[in-house]
Structure formats: structure tokens, C-alpha cells
Amino acid sequence: MTDSNETRSQMPLGLAQRGYTGVIQHLAAGDAGSALSDIELESRLIELGFVEGARVEVLHEGLVGRDPIAVRVDNITIAVRRREAMAVIVA
Amino acid sequence: MELPLLHLALVGTPNSGKTSLFNALTGSRQKVANYPGVTVERKEGFFVTPMGRQVSVVDLPGTYSLRGRSPDEEITRDFVLGKATGETVPDLVLCVADSTNLRLTIRLLLELKRTGRPMILVLNMFDIATRRGVTVDVARLAKELGVPVVTSIAVRKGGTADLLALTDEISAKLAAEPQENSWRTLSVAELRATQREADRIIADCVSLPARPDTWTARIDAIVLHPVGGLVVLALILFVMFQAVFAWAQPAMDLLKSGFDMIGGLVQATLPDGLLQSFLQNGVIAGVGSVIVFLPQIILIFLFILLLEDFGYMARAAFLMDRIMGGAGLHGRAFIPLLSSFACAIPGIMATRVIDNKRDRLTTILIAPLMTCSARIPVYTLIISAFIPAKDIWGFINLQGLVMFGLYATGIASALAVSFLIKFFMLRDYAPAPFMLELPDYKMPRLKSIAIGVYTRAKMFLYRAGTTIFSMMVLIWFLASFPQPPAGSTEPAIDFSLAAIIGKAIEPLLAPVGFNWQIAVALIPGMAAREVAVAALGTVYAIEGGKEAAEQIGQVLATKWSLATALSMLAWYIFAPQCASTLAVIRRETGSWTWMAVTFGYMLVLAYAASFVTYNVAVALGAG
């Protein structure tokens, strides 16, 4: 996973397709347009393991609007809506 | 000298197997109540350590941090800090971790350490971790964390022996000098730093295999498939309701003949008169007709607890999130709403997992529309009396199908009401985030489930023994007094208070096809919906004499038209009568207004649904 980091462009996890794998670069809570405040969103993401350097893989998508997504974050699986996943910048 | 009671508290993230460990430690020696002032469930259990120390252990609500973003999480924080009203500061905190998934718990533990409470890290489900190739250097982990670490296998006999021994060892030398609490809410930077620290410690002490749980991946490939997953969910719900209707029958028949036998015995041994009537019609027929539903209630809780333990509930929330989102509901509302199929009270209490106030309010308002187990007696009675028990297409039981239809109508109207609420009342609304851990699947623990079902069955029987019993006595009284004048030929009940009340309300209910006997039964049904069945039994028993008491269903089939029966079913999809649910809504929303709104809208829906059903049925010739 580490080999391609230099060459791949950064993108929000919220736009990733099923099967995408990558590494978290940073969190950008302000860009997500979530109902939560930036601090609250960032805190919750960290509490669920979304920290810099964690490996992520999009495992599943919901039926309506391919939302929410089930994301493997290191060795646990987290369900999250795409709107909030926009705050997680991956590459 | 007897040592004082040792107070333990279990803290851990959701899905850490905390409750399994709690059940393994305490068995059925549990006390379930509420924390003062809030409706968070307080589970306390008791056990004795190998060295004979008496221990009380409290299972605190699961949390990822001490920030306290919901009432449940505030309880966990305040309890550990010793700030919870009327609670003893725990002598020892057991921080429970799922050994296959240490990241989040180690971070929580680093935060907990700052509270200065003596602590043990319990690596639970250690067998699963070992099987998956996770190895933990326990001694090193303990050294790095500065906290004693012990492994446990809550599901295995003796799997908690090490934990018990360590508890004895630590409690014997618990420091008299209290440690300083240096905890305060962490900033985002501190949070990130703690997670980094946790990840560093894990990298040093734990070797994780790269492969995820293959079974979970395989099951999820089907269960979380966008389309296939929904089919599976529908199948599970369908099987659940067929089971509740069909599998429970033999046990129910057995209970029923048992009560009939006792009733017959009373009739044979006691002389005719008030005492005989009271025992036979009031007590045995009344309470018996509710207890008969115990097998169904056990089955429905069994299903819910099994799915929960297996890890399916979070998947169901994932599948339903956007679909429910269309109706203005949060994915997390799925679990409270599913619990509401057992009873709206735990369902409404479970809405605390929804941290957005508006999402929570919407869920509370529609939870009573989910068909709770208290409606099952009413449905079963009327369906078995009016709907033929034949199979269609060879394998679908028609009665089961009608039952499924009633449930489906409840769900559809709940979604519709939620949509209207979103549209008219809460327009300036941004959807709250849905973030949920999807735990690896686990074989459900039979002992833990048995304890859960047992606790619920006990609550149901307790209710049958208190609320329902006293309502039955009241109904019997209303239906028996005043006594008919000597020599009258009409049924005794025609002279009673019940008839007077029922006939007074009858004109209001006539448009929906209800007679005065139903009107009488609806009133005590306020205490608990299932009482209506018992009340109908009592009313018709006293009216029709002893033969009638034997077979309420058969009596109804002769006294009601099909239209009335269908109207009654329609009424009960919405029926607002359940004083306890209303009381919980009042408590959870902190407002009489929302309670009144719930009662009002459900009453209007019930009346409208019955009115339409009755008149359509009459027009089609079922009158």
C-alpha cells in the first residue's frame, strides 16, 4: 500500500468506489458539510480509528445512492455516510 | 472481619463483549433499574471471588471516549469519575477490550487512566484472537500501559478464572491513598496524540495477522450486498414472524389447557358464588389469558437477542440507513424500532443511541407504531377466530400472512408518519451523521442469550402479576357489580357498571363497528394492550356463563361480524392505549406536549383506520 502513495493523487474517501484501497493522509472536517461541528466530526472520526496513516478499503456500498459505505479501517469495519467520509482525505 | 462490598465497573467500547463478560461473572444474579433522573438502564450484578470477597459489578454503557456526547456516555463518564448521583465511586475499573480489535479500546484506556481510578485491562474473546493468529505480549502490554492486563474468554467455563484471581490480588492491596484525577475533555490534538500512542503500543506488543476474518467477509458479501442484503433482511423478518405465530403454538396450547384445568378445578371445588366467579373469571381466566403469550414473547426476544449477539443488528442499520433516511429517519433508529417489536418501552429507551435530538424525537414518536408483543395476544385471538388456518401455495400459512400484513402496515404507517413529521414539523433539518462499527460476526453465546431472555420473561410475568392482575380485578368488579335483581332473566353483566360505561361510549365507537363489550375492554387496555383480550374474556364470560370463558375466540366468532373483527385489527395497529409507553415518552422527551401529540395522532389514526376498514368490509358484504 505504501508504494503508490507518492504517485496517487489525494481524494476524499467520500468519493471512493467500492474496492478502493488507500491510506489516510489527513482529516478535513470543514470540507464535509456534515451536520456536526468540525471539532465534533473530527473527534468522532478519530475515535473510530480514522487517523493519519491508517489503511482504508471500501468494502460495501448501500443501495440508494451507493450510500452509506462500509470501510475497513486497519482491522475494523466502520459504516459511515459519504457526506462524513468527505472529511477523510485519502491517497 | 467481613470485608466491605467491592465495587467494580465494566467500561468498554460497544461490541467489546462487555455484556457477555458481565453475564459470565454474575450469571442471573442481576438487577436492572434506571440511573436516578435519567432513563439509562443500570445493570448491576453480584458475585463472590475465589477468596470470598463479595463483589458488585456495574455494566456501564459502551463508549469510545469519555466525552459524553449522549446521556448513556455521560453516565459512563460520571460513574467512573464518581460524579454520578447516588453512586459509589468504583474501587476498580475493568476496561474490557475485544482482543481482535484493540485499537479503539487502548485509546479509551489511555484516556481512562487519567481519571486515576485503579484499573485492569481485560483482553476478552482471547480465544477468537488466538484462533485468528493475533498474539499479544501480555506482560509487555501491561508494562507499557502501566495497568495490569489479564486475558479472558467470557464464553468458556472457567474463562474468567484469571480475571477473578487478579481481582482478588489487586483488591487486597488497593491503595488507601486516592489517586489524582487529571482527566478533562481531550482536544482534537490530544485525541489524535492518544490514538498515536495507542497505535505505537499495539505495534510493540501485538502482532496482527494481515488477513481479516474470512467468515465475516464471506457473510458480509451476501448480507451487505445492496440488493441481496435487503432480500436477506426481509427473509429474516418474515421467518421471525412466522415463527412467532406458528412455533409458539404448541407451548401456548399447553399453557392454555393448564389454566383451563385450574379454572375447572376451582369451579368444581368451590361453591357457586362471588368467590368462585372472582377466582375463575377474574383471576385465572384474566391473568391466564395474558400469560399464555409468554412463549411468543420469549421467541421474539430470542430472535432479537440472537441477531444482536451475532452482530447482524449493525448490518441491518447499514442496509436501512438510506431507505429510512428517505422517510426522515436515522440508520441508528433501526435498532430502537426493531426493539419496539418486542415492546415500545425498551425501544424508546434505546433511542438514546441517536445523539441528534430531532432524529431521536421522530423515532420516539413512531416507535409505538411498531407492532409490540402486547398486540400479539389481540391479533392472535382475532386472527385465529376469524381467519381460516389454511395454507396458500402449499407452504404459507394464511394466518401467518395476515399477521405479517398487520406488521407491514404498522411499519409502512410509521415511515409515512416520519416522512410527514420531517416534511411539516422539522423542515430546517440537516441529517445527522451515521457512523457505526460493524463488528465481526460471532457465534451467539447461548448462556448470555438465555440470561437475556430470562430477564425479559421475568419482567413480562412481573407485569402480568401486578399491573395486569390489578386491572383484571377491576374489570371483574366492574363487570360483576351491581348484581342483577333476583329473578331477572337477562345476563348479569347487563346490570353492571361495565355495561353502563360501555354503553355510554358505544355511540362514539359505533361508526367503526365496535359494540359496548369492546368499549369496555378498550378502557383497561390503557394499562397494557394485552389486557384487552383478558377483559373481553371476562366480559363475555360473565355475560355468557362458564362455557363462554373456555373459548373466548369461539365466542367472538359468534358475536362479532367479520367487519367488526377486521376493524378491531385495524384499530390495534395504531391503538394508542398503553399508559406505560406514554409515561416513557413523557420521561424521555421531558415534555407533556410530545406525549399528548403521540396519543392524539395515534388515536386519530386508529379511529380513521377502523372506520375505513369497517365500512369497506361492510360494503363488501362482511357486515
C-alpha span between B5 and B445 (Å, rounded): 29
Q: Which residues of A touch B321 (CB under 8 A)?
A: 62, 67-68, 79, 81
Choose the closest CB to B65 out of A41, A47, A81. A47
Radius of gyration of chain A, Cα coordinates, nearest whole angstrom: 12
Our CA angle for B85, B185, B118, nearest 5°, is 60
Choose the closest CB to B226 out of A43, A63, A84. A63
Is residue B547 helix, strand or coil? Answer: helix
Is residue A20 helix, strand or coil? Answer: coil
In the structure grid, which three cell numbers stand for residue B343, read together?
A: 415492546
C-alpha span between B438 and A70 (Å, rounded): 8
C-alpha span between A10 and A91 (Å, rounded): 5
C-alpha span between B81 and B458 (Å, rounded): 33
Number of helices (H), then strands (E), belonging to chain B: the values are 29, 12
Distance from CA of B436 to the nearest CA of A (A): 5
Distance from CA of B104 to the nearest CA of A (A): 7
Is residue B431 helix, strand or coil? Answer: coil
Long-range CB contact pairs, B70-77, < 8 A, 24+: B70/B352, B70/B353, B70/B355, B71/B38, B71/B39, B71/B40, B71/B352, B72/B40, B72/B352, B72/B353, B75/B35, B75/B38, B75/B40, B76/B11
Domain ranges in chain A are: 11-90
Distance from CA of A39 to the nearest CA of B (A): 7
C-alpha span between B282 and B278 (Å, rounded): 5
Q: Which residues of chain B are modeled with pLDDT < 70?
A: 1-2, 33-40, 175-178, 210-212, 245, 286, 289-290, 353, 355, 425-432, 463-464, 467-468, 471, 487-493, 524-528, 531, 541-551, 577, 579, 623
Distance from CA of B198 to the nearest CA of A (A): 11
Phi, psi values for residue B63, rounded to 5°: -155, 155
In the structure grid, which three cell numbers stand for residue B541, read together?
A: 364470560
In A, minimum Cα distance to B226 occurs at A63
Pairing of strands A88-90, A11-12: antiparallel
Q: What is the mean pLDDT of residues A67-83?
A: 91
Choose the closest CB to A63 out of B65, B186, B322. B322
Q: Which residues of B touch A52 (CB under 8 A)?
A: 192
pLDDT value for B425: 67
Choose the closest CB to B188 out of A35, A42, A62. A42
| CATH 3.40.50.300 domain residues, chain B | 6-207
Q: Do A78 and B322 touch (CB under 8 A)?
A: no
C-alpha span between B9 and B170 (Å, rounded): 14
User: Burial, B261: exposed, middle or buried (Cβ in 10 Å; 0-12, 13-18, 19+)?
Assistant: exposed
Q: Which residues of A touch B415 (CB under 8 A)?
A: none
C-alpha span between B43 and B57 (Å, rounded): 8
C-alpha span between B78 and B11 (Å, rounded): 12
Mean pLDDT of chain A: 87
Q: Do A35 and B318 touch (CB under 8 A)?
A: no
Which tens digits make up the pLDDT trace of B41-80? 788 899 998 888 899 999 998 899 898 877 778 889 999 9
The 10 Å Cβ neighbour count of residue B433 is: 26
Instruction: Give me the half-sphere count of Cα atoms (radius 13 Å) on the Cβ side of residue B508.
Output: 12
In B, minimum Cα distance to A33 occurs at B430
Q: Which residues of A touch B322 (CB under 8 A)?
A: 62-65, 67-68
Which residue type, as a one-letter code, is found at position B600? G
Q: Do A46 and B199 touch (CB under 8 A)?
A: no
pLDDT value for B84: 79
User: Burial, B408: exposed, middle or buried (Cβ in 10 Å; 0-12, 13-18, 19+)?
Assistant: middle
pLDDT value for B373: 75
The 10 Å Cβ neighbour count of residue A9 is: 5
Q: Which residues of A touch B331 (CB under 8 A)?
A: 68, 79
Q: How far is CA A52 from CA A22, A42, A88, B158, B196, in A?
A: 11, 12, 9, 40, 9
Q: Do B318 and A62 touch (CB under 8 A)?
A: yes
C-alpha span between A9 and A33 (Å, rounded): 22
Q: Which residues of B touch A14 (CB under 8 A)?
A: none
Cis ω on the peptide bond leading into residue B482 (within 30° of 0)?
Answer: yes
Q: Which residues of B touch A74 (CB under 8 A)?
A: 103
Q: What is the mean pLDDT of residues A52-78?
A: 90
**Helix or strand run (H / E) with residue B43:** strand B41-48
In the structure grid, which three cell numbers stand for residue B495, read together?
A: 346490570
pLDDT value for A1: 47
pLDDT value for B231: 93
Q: Do B438 and A78 touch (CB under 8 A)?
A: yes
Phi, psi values for residue A12, rounded to 5°: -75, 145
What is the secondary structure of B231-293 as a DSSP string?
HHHHHHHHHHHHHHHHTTHHHHHHHHHHHHHHHHHHHHHSPSSHHHHIIIIIIIHHHHHHHTT
What is the secondary structure of B201-233 as a DSSP string?
HHHHHEE--SSPPHHHHHHHHHHTSTTHHHHHH
* Chain A residues within 8 angstroms (CB to CB) of chain B: 34-36, 39-49, 51-52, 59-68, 70, 72, 74-81, 83-84
Q: Which residues of B touch A78 (CB under 8 A)?
A: 435-438
DSSP E strands: which ranges in B297-426? 391-392, 396-397
Q: Cα B345 to chain center, whole Å?
A: 7
The 10 Å Cβ neighbour count of residue B137 is: 14
Predicted model pTM: 0.77
C-alpha span between A34 and A81 (Å, rounded): 10
Answer yes or no: are the C-beta atoms of B28 and B6 closer than 8 Å.
no
Is residue B545 helix, strand or coil? Answer: coil
In A, minimum Cα distance to B429 occurs at A35
C-alpha span between B416 and B2 (Å, rounded): 61
Q: Which residues of A touch B226 (CB under 8 A)?
A: 60-63, 66
> What is the DSSP secondary structure assignment for residue B70, as one 8-state letter?
S
A88 pLDDT above the threshold of 90: yes
In the structure grid, which three cell numbers stand for residue B31, read together?
A: 438487577
Q: Do B434 and A80 touch (CB under 8 A)?
A: yes
Lay out the sheet containing A55-61: strands in order across: A11-12, A88-90, A21-27, A55-61, A69-73, A76-80, B435-437
Q: How far apart are the first and last CA of chain A?
A: 10
Q: Do A62 and B322 touch (CB under 8 A)?
A: yes
The architecture of the domain spanning B6-207 is 3-Layer(aba) Sandwich (3.40)
Q: Tell me: domain A11-90, CATH 3.20.20.70, correct?
A: no
Residue B152 CB partners (closer than 8 Å, separation 6+): B21, B122, B123, B124, B126, B159, B160, B162, B163
Residue B607 CB partners (closer than 8 Å, separation 6+): B512, B571
Q: Do A75 and B101 touch (CB under 8 A)?
A: yes
Q: How far apart are the first and last CA of chain B?
A: 77
Among residues B101, B59, B88, the alpha carbon closest in space to that of B76 is found at B59
C-alpha span between B357 and B575 (Å, rounded): 26
Q: Do B220 and A64 touch (CB under 8 A)?
A: no
Choose the closest CB to B437 out of A36, A52, A76. A76
Q: Do B191 and A70 touch (CB under 8 A)?
A: no
User: Burial, B592: exposed, middle or buried (Cβ in 10 Å; 0-12, 13-18, 19+)?
Assistant: exposed
Q: Rounded to the nearest 10 degrees, what angle do helices B375-386 and B294-310 cross at? A: 120
Among residues B149, B144, B91, B145, the alpha carbon closest in space to that of B117 is found at B91
Cβ-Cβ pairs closer than 8 A, A with B, add up to 124
Q: Which residues of B touch A64 (CB under 8 A)?
A: 322-323, 325-326
Q: Which residues of B touch A75 (CB under 8 A)?
A: 100-101, 103, 208, 212
ipTM: 0.90
Which tens digits make up the pLDDT trace of B336-395? 887 787 777 777 877 776 767 778 888 999 999 988 877 887 888 888 888 887 777 777
